[in-house]
Amino acid sequence: MVMRTFTLPKGEELGTLGLKGLRMTLSLCYANFLLYLVLYITGMYINIYITSGVSTIGIGDLLNIFHMLIATLNFAICFIVMTVGFLYGMRRVAFFSLGAVVSIIVATLGGLLFLSSGGGRETSSSATLAGGWIMSALFMLALFLSYYATLKVMRAVRVIEAVGGASSGE
Amino acid sequence: MANPSDQSEVLSRKLHNIFRLLYLQFAFYWATIAAGMFVNYYYAVPATVTPDVGSIFQQFISSVPLFAHVSFAVLSSGMSIPVIILASRVGLKQVVWLHAGAITCRMVGFVTGPLFIYYSTSAVGDPFASNISTFVMASVFLMAVILSFMSRIFIVREDVRIKYIMVSPPSLEVR
């Protein structure tokens, strides 16, 4: 026979969203990771195969439009998760997501600087290189911050499930 | 036999040590990509580099961003070793395998990195192979990050399990 002892969740940020809402937020977070993956792959492809040589990329390039579209969706999801965190009493989720949102904004500005000042590496100015570096480094920072927000949501789901199991006599 | 609550306390402490190591590892991952991107944008293989092991490894010391990139890559990969040791002690097999996978991915990166310099030297000058090496290096880095990310999910699950659903031994056995 399995004996279980239940403790009240001290120091846990469960929020007021409820299990269903948290699960939906978690699904959104997982979808966001797919977007991060697509952003990384398209970004690396552009970086290695388009802008590494004498070629440049412009804002109207199809691959760039796709990359920017994915970045916009990525921003939207981070913003939604941040709002959920602020509205439903999950401070850590809110602040990690806020960090991700700010990082994505700065990364986008870096990307725009990269595009507007040349859009290539070999035929570029120092502004192009700085823009490219800011875009890449801040993208990665956003990925890590989103990950921590996701972990906090996942933990809240798990804790509620565990404690809920106690009340239902599981 | 030790009290289950004492055992869970010990387990919890070990899991928190893994958490700390993972925070450090993720910081090193970020530093690796930040330095890597600095190399990507600001470093060009000098014409003096010859396609031999000595000359290529000399580059890792003579170029500051390259040295930083390689150092952070080694540190971030190395962090998986204590994680594997601690995870095996608490019986988290998935974490052990995920970090073993992450280290393997990074090993591929440690081969393709020097290959990038080799194919970029003026003597060899093969941009196709150089691009492939860079793409493989970037891909395996991402794979290592994903595997490390996944490991933390299992650790959170275990932490919640021992804190809120204390199952009687032997499943809580501490080695």
Q: What is residue A56's predicted lDDT score, i.e. its pLDDT?
A: 82
Q: What is the ipTM of this complex?
A: 0.82
- Confidence (pTM): 0.86
Q: Are residues B69 and B39 in contact, defined by beta-carbon separation less than 8 angstroms?
A: yes
Q: Answer yes or no: do B37 and A136 touch at CB < 8 A.
A: yes
Q: What is residue B144's predicted lDDT score, i.e. its pLDDT?
A: 94
| In-domain check, residue B121 | yes
Rounded to the nearest 5 degrees, what angle is found at the Cα of B101, between the Cα atoms of B64 and B21?
A: 65
Q: What is the share, in percent, of chain B residues with pLDDT greater than 70? A: 91
Q: What is the DSSP string of B62-119?
A: HSHHHHHHHHHHHHHHHTHHHHHHHHHHTT-HHHHHHHHHHHHHHHHHHHHHHHHHHH
| In-domain check, residue B155 | yes
Token digits of residue A89: 């009493």
Chain A residues contacting B, CB < 8 Å?
2-7, 9, 37, 40, 44-45, 47-49, 52-53, 121, 129, 132-133, 136-137, 140-141, 144, 147, 151, 154-155, 158-159, 162-163, 165-166
Asked whether the predicted pLDDT for residue B39 surpasses 60, the reply is yes
**What gap in Å lies between CA B43 and CA B58, rounded to an integer?**
15
How many Å lie between the alpha carbon of B128 and the closest alpha carbon of chain A? 9
Of B35, B25, B18, whose CA–CA distance to B145 is shortest? B25
Q: What is residue A9's predicted lDDT score, i.e. its pLDDT?
A: 62
Q: What is residue B169's predicted lDDT score, i.e. its pLDDT?
A: 45
Q: What is residue A13's predicted lDDT score, i.e. its pLDDT?
A: 84
The residue of chain B nearest to residue A38, with distances taken between CA atoms, is B142
| Amino acid occupying residue A4 | R
| In-domain check, residue B107 | yes
Q: Answer yes or no: do B156 and A154 touch at CB < 8 A.
A: yes
Of B41, B45, B75, whose CA–CA distance to B60 is shortest? B45
Asked whether the predicted pLDDT for residue B135 surpasses 80, the reply is yes
Cis bond before residue B4 (omega within 30° of 0)? no
Look-up of token digits 């004996």: A3
Q: What is residue A166's predicted lDDT score, i.e. its pLDDT?
A: 46
**What gap in Å lies between CA A157 and CA A140, rounded to an integer?**
26
Q: Are residues A64 and A132 in contact, defined by beta-carbon separation less than 8 angstroms?
A: no
Of residues B133 and B162, more confidence is placed in B133
Q: Answer yes or no: do A151 and B152 touch at CB < 8 A.
A: yes
| In-domain check, residue B173 | no
Chain B residues contacting A, CB < 8 Å?
4-5, 26, 29-30, 33-34, 37-38, 40-42, 127, 131, 134-135, 138-139, 142, 149, 152-153, 156-157, 159-161, 163-168
| In-domain check, residue B175 | no
Asked whether the predicted pLDDT for residue B106 surpasses 90, the reply is yes
The distance between the two most distant Cα atoms of chain A, rounded to a whole number of Å, is 71
Half-sphere exposure of B15 (CA within 13 A, CB side): 23
Of B21, B108, B32, whose CA–CA distance to A140 is shortest? B32
Q: Are residues A14 and A160 in contact, defined by beta-carbon separation less than 8 angstroms?
A: yes
Average pLDDT, integer, range B23-46:
91
Average pLDDT, integer, range B43-62:
89
Query: What is the span of the domain harbouring residue B78?
Result: 4-164
| In-domain check, residue B171 | no
The residue of chain A nearest to residue B32, with distances taken between CA atoms, is A137
Q: Answer yes or no: do B131 and A47 touch at CB < 8 A.
A: no
- Number of independent structural domains in chain B: 1
Q: What is residue B74's predicted lDDT score, i.e. its pLDDT?
A: 95
Q: Are residues B80 and B103 in contact, defined by beta-carbon separation less than 8 angstroms?
A: yes
- Residue B77 CA, chain-centre distance (Å), reads 3
Rounded to the nearest 10°, the torsion over CA B44, B50, B54, B56 is 20
Cα distances (angstroms) measured from residue B101 to each of A133, B20, B143? 29, 20, 9
Token digits of residue A122: 């070999």
Of residues A1 and B47, more confidence is placed in B47
Domain ranges of chain A: 20-163
Q: Answer yes or no: do A137 and B34 touch at CB < 8 A.
A: yes
All residue ranges of chain A with pLDDT < 70 are 1-10, 123-124, 165-170
Of B165, B147, B137, B133, whose CA–CA distance to B5 is shortest? B165
Would you call A150 helix, strand, or coil by DSSP? helix
| Amino acid occupying residue B165 | I
